Amino acid sequence: MWQESSNLTNAFGDLSIGSIWQETPDCSESSLVSQLQTTLDLQQQLDIFSMSAGRVLPLCGMTLNTHSSNLQARGSKKGTYHHQSKLVLENQVLAEISYDSAHAFTPLVQRQLLLLESEWLFALRNALLVSRLQQMALKDPLTTLGNRRFFDDSFVKSVQLAKRHQLPLTLLLLDLDNFKQVNDNSGHYVGDEVLIAVADCMRESLRATDSLFRFGGDEFAVLLSDSDAEHADVVADRLLQSIYTNAFLASHNVGCSIGMARLSAEHQPRDLFHAADEALYQAKLSGKGRVSQYNGGRVKLLEKAAHSLLAAS
Q: Dump pLDDT digits (tens) for 111-140.
A: 999 999 999 999 999 999 988 787 778 889
**pLDDT tens, 15-39?**
332 333 333 344 444 589 999 999 9
d(CA 65, CA 158): 27
Percent pLDDT > 70 in the chain is: 84
pTM above 0.75, yes or no: no
pLDDT band at 155 (very low <50, low <70, confident <90, very high): very high
Q: Which residues of 71-88 are buried (b: 16+ CB within 10 A; e: fewer)?
A: bbbbbbeebebebeeebe
Query: Taking the C-alpha atoms of 195, 199, 204 and 205 in order, what is their torsion angle to the nearest 10 degrees?
Result: 100
pLDDT band at 12 (very low <50, low <70, confident <90, very high): low
β-sheet bridge partners, residue 264? none
